[in-house]
């Protein structure tokens, strides 16, 4: 059966109603009906874990990724976890002709949009590249969705839109004052998608503000493998534990926090992945615009993370307290109450499990998806 662009299919048990050119056809099928979800950036860290959660929830993920910060070998790992590899399209989210072909070739029920660049320092050094990839990329995608009649969009935003908050836990209605081009690129997309939804109330959009995603799938088959020297705490700690780096430099020991080190809301990447599925199901129920924090609601300091990692791995993590990192906020964590009330979602995995799963991934894959 070939479905033309703009047609809709409605699963009704074994019968399938196909609306094409305003005529209804009934087709009988033995295929299990699942909704295909386009996952831009699905080969990356959070995207790959979300593909696992989507498959577990009965969706069919279709990945579009330019592999700029990911590795094609993730597909084979996803097949081992989920039983089959997602369909993969190598390409750029800014390529409108490609997106039009993707939407025309298969019925996509919704899009989870992860594709983007995420290094704060790089965004300061090269803002135009960030605005092109993150903002323009999102605009091209939304325009292609509009043309194809796909109106369900889950967008990867970030707690970085809050900048240095007045207090924690941070609710969604807190002031938005991102402190760098990366954060501003996320806020611009949030605002544009808000305008889009107000212009056409049939859109179903969720803006998800993640706090600090860490951890890995419990199988140890997929995880985060930053290129070059890691900027983020957990991958750095993992690399010290596995012997790739000598010691962790703690960026500041004189913050006004209980132990003087920076405090963040670390959230397990599988909890985050499940949050996306919950947001998708919520969007399927009703049109609208939903903005939600995804975090645990609890802060952990750098030294608490190090101690938890030492407990989980049995490895000693050598640390040296160094100067503060320019631009760092001393402490913040999110208020996840609205996500619980709206989606029924809450983070279930604690810091010990985040560390244990990160360590399993790192130990089994010291060079990421490269063969050992
Ligand atoms: P990641 O780099 O591992 O994944 C992003 C993926 O998108 C990569 O596979 C990359 O190759 C792909 N990509 C980038 N630009 C693309 C383009 N123009 N076209 C097609 N593919 C493209 O990053 P991640 O940690 O999985 O983050 C996913 C999303 O979540 C990003 O939008 C990021 O800004 C956001 N986010 C991440 C964090 C975090 O700490 N990891 C926190 C908040 C928000
Ligand atoms: N951090 C650190 N050493 C590192 C990397 C990070 O001490 O090598 C600290 C950082 O100063 C912050 C916390 O760990 O207090 C989390 O930093 P990360 O870069 O992972 O997240 P973000 O600052 O973007 O929230």
Task: Tell me the pLDDT tens digit for each residue of 15-27.
Answer: 333 333 333 334 3
Number of H helices, E strands in the chain: 12, 16
Given a cut of 60, whether residue 193 has pLDDT beyond it is yes
Q: For tokens 């949030």, name the residue.
A: 190
**What is the per-residue pLDDT for 103?**
98
Assess whether pLDDT exceeds 70 at residue 111: yes
Q: Note whether 221 and 80 are within 8 A (CB).
A: yes
Of residues 28 and 169, more confidently modeled: 169
Mean pLDDT of the chain: 91
Q: What is the pLDDT of residue 371?
A: 81
Higher pLDDT pick, 221 / 33: 221
Q: How far is the CA of 51 from the centre of ligand 1 (A)?
A: 14
Written as one string, the DSSP assignment of 87-139 is EEEE--TT-HHHHHHHHHHS-EEEEEE--S---HHHHHH-HHHHIIIIIIHHH
The residues that are catalytic are 182
Kindly report the pTM of this predicted structure: 0.92
Q: Which of 310, 283, 89, 122 minimizes the C-alpha distance to 205?
A: 283
Average confidence (pLDDT) over 243-249: 95
8 pLDDT more than 90: no
Distance 85 CA to ligand 1 centre (A): 20
For residue 325, give the ligand 2 atom closest to its CA. 11
**pLDDT value for 117:** 97
pLDDT at 132 over 80: yes
pLDDT digits (tens, 9 = 90+) for 294-334: 999 999 999 999 999 999 999 999 999 999 998 899 999 99
**Which ligand has the minimum distance to the alpha carbon of residue 137?**
1
Would you call the peptide bond into 169 cis, given omega within 30 degrees of 0 as the criterion?
Answer: yes
Domains of the chain: 8-214+268-296+333-348 (3.40.50.720)
Ligand 1 site residues (CB inside 6 A) read 40-41, 43-47, 65-70, 92-94, 114-118, 133, 137, 156, 158, 210, 213
pLDDT score of 256 more than 70: yes
Out of 119, 263, 325, 326, mutate this one to test ligand 2's pocket (max ligand atoms within 8 Å of CB): namely: 325
pLDDT band for position 33 (cuts 50, 70, 90): low
pLDDT band at 201 (very low <50, low <70, confident <90, very high): very high
């Amino acid at each position: 059966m070939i479905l033309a662009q703009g047609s809709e299919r409605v699963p009704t048990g074994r019968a399938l109603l196909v609306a094409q050119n305003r005529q209804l056809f009934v087709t009988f099928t033995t295929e299990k009906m699942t909704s295909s979800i386009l996952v831009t950036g699905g080969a990356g860290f959070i995207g790959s874990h979300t593909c696992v959660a989507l498959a577990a929830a009965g969706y069919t993920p279709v990945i579009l990724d330019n592999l700029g910060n990911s590795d094609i070998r993730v597909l084979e790992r996803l097949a081992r976890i989920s039983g089959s590899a997602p369909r993969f399209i190598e390409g750029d989210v800014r390529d409108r002709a490609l997106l039009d072909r993707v939407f025309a070739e298969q019925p996509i029920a919704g899009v989870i949009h992860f594709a983007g660049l995420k290094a704060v320092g790089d965004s300061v050094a090269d803002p135009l590249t960030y605005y092109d990839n993150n903002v323009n990329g999102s605009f091209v995608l939304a325009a292609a969705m509009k043309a194809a009649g796909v109106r369900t969009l889950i967008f990867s935003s970030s707690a970085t839109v809050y900048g240095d908050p007045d207090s924690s836990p941070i609710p969604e209605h807190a002031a938005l004052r991102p402190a760098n081009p990366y954060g501003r690129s996320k806020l611009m997309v949030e605002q544009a998608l808000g305008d889009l939804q107000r212009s056409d109330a049939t859109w179903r959009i969720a803006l998800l503000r993640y706090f600090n995603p860490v951890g890995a799938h419990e199988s140890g088959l997929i995880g985060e493998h930053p290129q070059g020297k890691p900027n983020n705490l957990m991958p750095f700690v993992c690399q010290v534990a596995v012997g790739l780096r000598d010691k962790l430099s703690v960026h500041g020991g004189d913050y006004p926090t209980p132990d003087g080190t920076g405090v963040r809301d670390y959230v397990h990447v599988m909890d985050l992945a499940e949050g996306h599925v919950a947001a998708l199901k919520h969007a399927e129920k009703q049109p609208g615009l939903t903005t939600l924090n995804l975090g645990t609601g609890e802060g952990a300091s750098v030294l608490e993370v190090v101690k938890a990692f030492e407990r989980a791995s049995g490895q000693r993590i050598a640390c040296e307290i160094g100067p503060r990192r320019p631009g760092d906020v001393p402490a913040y964590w999110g208020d996840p109450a609205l996500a619980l009330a709206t989606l029924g979602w809450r983070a279930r995995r604690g810091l010990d499990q985040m560390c244990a799963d990160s360590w399993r991934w790192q130990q089994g894959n010291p060079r990421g998806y490269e063969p050992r």
